[in-house]
């Protein structure tokens, strides 16, 4: 997948071309069987495949390992068994055997054995319907199936036999390693065929869904299949995808060919965090390849995230990776990238080999050797369809004569705006809805069937990146008189009919149908075709609300005995899920429940049973409990309050404060003190941090600034941040920057011992600005950052200087916005309920308490409660994604802004940076003086808190007037009317030009009549110690700062 790793002990390899280097190391591949034979002939045998051992209750996950010789012997034994079944080496090409089984070790050995005998193997997904299997068998001319012993597969086989006469055999049971060692008498097939002729023959037939809803076969010759091992990164690999998906097969073959272990997933287990994390920890692979659904499970688990960080490489495939998930993986220091391929053309592009520090994981680069065979066909709006041209070595089919022999993939990409030859995958031209787990829902057949009802004008399937699909229904003119409930009853038979024709993962459940109001408009082309992307944009509020409701709302009223609960669950499974359970003790997964049915069952539980808190019924509750019996016990326990109640966030705060309030003692060491003074700065790549850094670099008393960041290319990231903010620095001053990749949650900050020792000899000031600004994260998600406060305080106490380093912790006014007091003083907040009800504000308040405790213990640590930070007072450049600039930007689209009875306190970021450094100097001087004690408690008076807000407030009306004078044109309307205009803009799909529509709920919570009023923040101490706050030009309106913001906004927004 783009990063070959070579054995540099072969001296002459470096003189060869890329593919020839691989061949020199690992051997030449003509046909599939060559891979096993090559690895069996290696002088030093290494494990190239691992399969999970059957897990015993409570036993840790473990693997059974197989070398090339092991597999070669197992394949030969399987060949003997197949020949006893009557599978003789075929006399003619094109003899096909279908495998209809789970992707386990039996399937792997049988696959290689059939190929060794000379058969073409067709792999059938166990999730196919009987009709789909028969369609594929008929299309390729196959009349032989080998099937697995899973109950669901056996049931489907029975249906297949009713539809078609086929020869069927149970799967070969692979030999154990003990049997391989004991049996030395089996026959070994020798090959005497021309490999150049053999490689053109069809090795494997996979299948896809196809536009009609019937799967179509996809043929891979040995030549095409053997291009995949050559694309490997040369690392041990873990991929949960089965081998009947090309991505799963491909990554395994890559590792095996390059003498690395391919770790398979246990096909007998459901894919949950509780199963995949232990498997990953046991395997400890160098690389993980997975669909986004798997990566989401891992990233949501601390242990899973740790396992990913241990990998040299993590990639996605099989489905587009949501930007939010990929960005989080990169931010969490996971070496992450993507690969892109298709059955018809193999692997074609990747982002894994991008340069270190390149954050654009979602922009792929096509492999150089196939770039001459790629045509990006323009389709408008910077979108291109990828077309593969004749001559592409892995191209297996053609669907167009324009140009002749080409394959028009219908995959749509957009180029990177500045980096050449980098492309981001956007969608499919045929509008397939790709779910989070990689399953591809074909909307056209479903919609076409449903629209046969005269009551339905249009039906649109949605669900891109979601767990399950849903349906928008537009009423016909004949259906306006029905209520929503009556209408739903009338159209449901049409939806049921469509479900019967669709694969299980494509079926629409009743609670995922949204009936739109009469008169709702469906966007269309001039030719009358529905424009899917515009429908999604226009009704994204309806769609988001539906997923929120079905995933989180609990409306049920039932509260039954244990036996009655079991009976109701069985009824739900059989009648609403169409899932026939053998008994209440039958294991869900073993009996064929997939992840989509498990998600649906959770929704039905929340719909029917009285559940006070939907979070008590987890997303994977079906697989975590395993059976109806255990699931019923869990529900009854939750309803009766027997389940352990998770503490609310406020009750967790004292424990976190105590946990991180133990500090080391400061011990000066005059013999290890530098003559220079340096500063530690976190968050230098953010707006506040970049402006602080700019001031420090221009301060001649500062010899060095240690910029601690999580970025993999720290120096480049810091310099880029300065450049983006227009903060120029002379070359000799830039030399002060010592940018380090760090991990603040580690006691050593992720730094090596020599660097820490160097820092401790000179650091006199630490400024901690880094903090994730995410108001949706729960409190415990911030614990690593709370730990970072503790570790930085300990660094301040470990310096060898005569006194501890001054530490400034950048807190937030959100720590007090829930306080009952109308005026917040510059003193500690004892009431932990004073913070806003979100993890962000609560974590900052915990940080303030830790700082106070550290001050009592001898540290020189202080908290700066920072208010609304605006752009640069001269240049503007206020972050466009913040709520206030977005609200003002809405005036360009709505020609209206709301009238509000509020006052604004904005502190320009450059003025904030000056104030912080002035306060730092004051703290350095004042904290050396003796401190007074509180007469009541005897404790030292807490002097740790400063309120950094602008006391020169201005009215909302003053702001509107300044905007008009600067060129904005709008009318002033009531807040409710402005909200209506925003929702109308959202319905028109204007998110691109009016992105504020995504923050409607935020504005409503902040400015509606029932929104709590914000307290004022006293700044006497801050203004005493900061001349900028005391005497600076901080009148936002009168001093022309708002006018400069407005001019900058108009210049940038009106040219977008």
Q: The whole model's pTM is what?
A: 0.49
Q: Would you state the pLDDT for residue 9?
A: 45
Compute the distance between CA of residue 925 and CA of residue 58 in angstroms, rounded to an integer. Answer: 59
Say which range, 51-60, 337-346, 774-783, 920-929, has the weakest mean pLDDT: 774-783
- Look up residue 671 and give its two tokens: 């013999």
In this predicted model, what pLDDT tens digit does every residue of 45-93 receive, in sequence order?
999 999 998 876 656 789 999 999 999 999 999 999 999 989 988 877 7
3-class DSSP state for residue 678? strand
Tallying the residues shown for the chain, one arrives at: 1056
Identify whether the C-beta of residue 785 lies closer than 8 Å to the C-beta of residue 771: yes
3-class DSSP state for residue 931? coil
Domain covering 553-640 in this structure, CATH number: 1.10.1200.10
Beta-strand relationship, 954-955 and 868-870 = unpaired
In the chain, domain spans: 433-551, 553-640, 668-871+905-951+1015-1031
Cα of first residue to Cα of last residue in the chain, in angstroms, is: 37
In this predicted model, what pLDDT tens digit does every residue of 89-110 receive, in sequence order?
887 777 999 999 999 999 999 9
Candidate ranges 227-241, 617-631, 934-948; pick with highest mean pLDDT? 227-241
In this predicted model, what pLDDT tens digit does every residue of 528-584 receive, in sequence order?
457 787 888 889 889 988 887 776 667 788 999 999 999 999 999 888 887 888 888
10 Å CB burial of residue 843 (0-12, 13-18, 19+) is buried
At the top level of CATH, the class of 668-871+905-951+1015-1031 is: alpha beta
Give CA separation, 841 vs 286, 649, 1016, in Å. 38, 11, 17
Task: Dump the DSSP string for 384-426.
Answer: EEEEEPTT-TT-----EETTEEEEEEEEEEEE-SSSTT-EEEE
SS3 sequence of 759-771 = HHCCEEEEEECCC
In this predicted model, what pLDDT tens digit does every residue of 129-148 receive, in sequence order?
898 899 999 999 999 999 99
Residue 209 has pLDDT above 80, yes or no: no
Average pLDDT, the chain: 86
Q: Would you state the pLDDT for residue 557?
A: 87
Helix (H) or strand (E) holding 513: strand 513-515
Residue 1002 has pLDDT above 80, yes or no: no
Compute the distance between CA of residue 1023 and CA of residue 695 in angstroms, rounded to an integer. Answer: 19
Percent of the chain with pLDDT over 90: 51
**433-551 CATH choice from 1.20.1300.10, 3.40.50.2020, 3.10.50.40, 3.30.300.30:** 3.30.300.30
> Residue range 290-310: average pLDDT?
87
């Amino acid at each position: 997948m783009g990063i070959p790793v070579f054995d540099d002990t072969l001296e002459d390899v470096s003189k060869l071309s890329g593919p020839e280097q691989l061949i020199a190391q690992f051997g030449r591949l003509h046909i599939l069987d060559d891979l096993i034979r090559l690895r069996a002939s290696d002088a030093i045998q290494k494990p190239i495949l691992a399969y999970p051992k059957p897990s015993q209750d409570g036993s840790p996950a473990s693997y059974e390992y197989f070398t090339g010789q092991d597999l070669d012997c197992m394949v030969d034994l399987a060949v003997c068994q197949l020949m006893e079944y009557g599978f003789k080496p075929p006399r003619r090409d094109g003899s096909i055997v279908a495998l209809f089984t789970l992707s386990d070790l039996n399937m792997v050995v049988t696959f290689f054995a059939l190929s060794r005998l000379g058969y073409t193997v067709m792999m059938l997904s166990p999730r196919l319907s009987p009709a789909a299997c028969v369609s594929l068998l008929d299309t390729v001319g196959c009349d032989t199936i080998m099937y697995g012993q899973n109950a669901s597969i056996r049931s489907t086989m029975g249906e297949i036999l009713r539809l078609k006469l086929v020869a069927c055999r149970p799967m070969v049971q692979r030999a154990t390693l003990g049997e391989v060692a004991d049996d030395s008498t089996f026959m070994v097939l020798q090959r005497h065929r021309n490999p150049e002729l053999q490689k053109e023959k069809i090795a494997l037939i996979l299948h896809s869904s196809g536009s009609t809803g019937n799967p179509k076969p996809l043929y891979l010759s040995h030549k095409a299949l053997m291009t995949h091992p050559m694309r490997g990164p040369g690392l041990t690999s873990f991929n949960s995808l089965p081998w009947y998906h090309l991505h799963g097969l491909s990554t395994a073959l890559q590792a095996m060919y390059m003498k690395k272990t391919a770790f398979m997933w246990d096909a007998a287990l459901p894919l949950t965090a509780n199963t995949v994390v232990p498997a990953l920890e046991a395997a400890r692979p160098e690389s993980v390849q997975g669909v986004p659904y798997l990566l989401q499970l891992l990233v949501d688990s601390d242990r899973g995230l740790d396992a990913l960080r241990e990998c040299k490489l993590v990639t996605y495939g099989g489905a587009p990776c949501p930007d939010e998930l990929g960005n989080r993986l990169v931010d969490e220091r996971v070496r992450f990238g993507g690969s892109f391929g298709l059955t018809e053309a193999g692997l074609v592009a990747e982002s894994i080999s991008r340069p270190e520090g390149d954050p654009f994981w979602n922009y792929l680069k096509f492999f150089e050797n196939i770039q001459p065979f790629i045509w990006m066909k323009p389709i408008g709006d910077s979108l291109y369809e990828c077309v593969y041209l004749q001559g592409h070595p892995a191209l297996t089919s053609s669907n167009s004569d324009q140009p002749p022999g080409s394959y028009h993939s219908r995959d749509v990409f957009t180029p990177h705006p500045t980096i050449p030859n980098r492309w981001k995958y956007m969608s499919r031209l045929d509008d397939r809805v790709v779910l989070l787990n990689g399953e591809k829902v074909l909307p056209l057949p479903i919609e076409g069937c449903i629209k046969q009802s005269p009551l339905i004008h249009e039906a649109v399937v949605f669900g891109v990146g979601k767990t399950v699909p849903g349906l928008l229904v537009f009423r016909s003119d004949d259906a306006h008189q029905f209520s929503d409930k009556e209408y739903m009853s009338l159209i449901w038979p049409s939806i049921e009919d469509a479900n019967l024709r669709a694969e299980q993962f494509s079926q629409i459940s009743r609670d995922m149908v949204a009936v739109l109001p009469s008169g709702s408009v469906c966007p269309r082309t001039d030719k009358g075709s529905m424009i899917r992307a515009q429908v999604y944009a226009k009704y994204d509020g309806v769609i988001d609300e539906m997923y929120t409701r079905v995933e989180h709302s609990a409306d049920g009223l039932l509260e039954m005995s244990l036996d009655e609960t079991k009976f109701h669950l069985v009824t739900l499974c059989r009648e609403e899920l169409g899932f026939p359970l053998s008994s209440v003790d039958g294991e869900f997964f073993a009996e064929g429940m997939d992840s989509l049915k498990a998600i649906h069952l959770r929704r039905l539980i929340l719909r029917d049973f009285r559940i006070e808190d939907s979070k008590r019924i987890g997303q994977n509750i079906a697989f975590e409990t395993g059976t109806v019996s255990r699931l019923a016990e869990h529900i009854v326990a939750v309803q009766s309050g027997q389940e352990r109640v998770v503490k609310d966030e406020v009750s967790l705060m004292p424990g976190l404060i105590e946990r991180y309030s133990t500090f080391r003692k400061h011990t000066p060491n005059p013999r290890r003190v530098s003559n220079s003074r340096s500063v530690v700065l976190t968050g230098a790549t953010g707006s506040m941090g970049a402006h602080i850094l700019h001031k420090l670099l221009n301060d001649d008393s500062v010899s060095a600034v240690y910029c601690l960041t999580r970025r993999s290319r720290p120096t480049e990231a810091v310099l880029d941040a300065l450049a983006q903010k227009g903060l120029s620095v002379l070359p000799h001053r830039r030399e002060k920057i010592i940018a380090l990749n760090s991990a603040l949650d580690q006691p050593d900050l992720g730094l090596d011992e020599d660097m820490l020792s160097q820092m401790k000899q000179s650091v006199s000031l630490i400024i901690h600005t880094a903090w994730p600004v995410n108001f949706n994260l729960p409190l415990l998600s911030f614990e690593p950052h709370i730990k970072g406060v503790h570790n930085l305080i300990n660094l301040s106490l470990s310096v060898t200087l005569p006194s501890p380093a001054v530490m400034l912790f950048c807190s937030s006014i959100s720590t007090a916005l829930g306080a009952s007091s109308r005026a917040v003083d510059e003193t500690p907040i004892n009431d932990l309920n004073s913070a806003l009800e979100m993890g962000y504000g609560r974590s900052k308040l915990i940080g303030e308490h830790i700082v106070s405790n550290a001050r009592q213990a001898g540290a020189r640590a202080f908290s700066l409660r920072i208010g609304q930070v605006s752009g640069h007072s001269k240049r503007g450049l206020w972050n466009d994604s913040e709520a206030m600039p977005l609200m003002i930007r809405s005036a360009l689209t709505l020609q209206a802004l709301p009238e509000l009875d509020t006052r604004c306190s904005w502190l320009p970021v450059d003025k904030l940076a000056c104030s912080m450094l002035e306060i730092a100097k004051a703290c350095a001087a004042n904290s050396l003086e003796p401190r007074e004690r509180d007469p009541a408690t005897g404790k030292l008076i807490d002097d740790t808190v400063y309120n950094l807000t602008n006391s020169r407030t201005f009215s909302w009306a003053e702001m509107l007037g300044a905007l008009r004078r600067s060129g904005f044109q709008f009318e002033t309307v009531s807040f409710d009317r402005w909200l209506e205009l925003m929702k109308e803009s959202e319905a028109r799909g204007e998110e691109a030009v009016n992105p504020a529509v995504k923050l409607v709920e935020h504005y409503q919570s902040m400015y509606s009549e029932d929104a709590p009023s914000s307290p004022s923040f006293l700044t006497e101490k801050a203004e005493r110690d900061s001349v900028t706050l005391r005497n600076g030009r901080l009148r936002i309106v009168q001093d022309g700062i708002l006018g400069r913001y407005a001019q900058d906004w108009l210049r940038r927004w009106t040219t977008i």
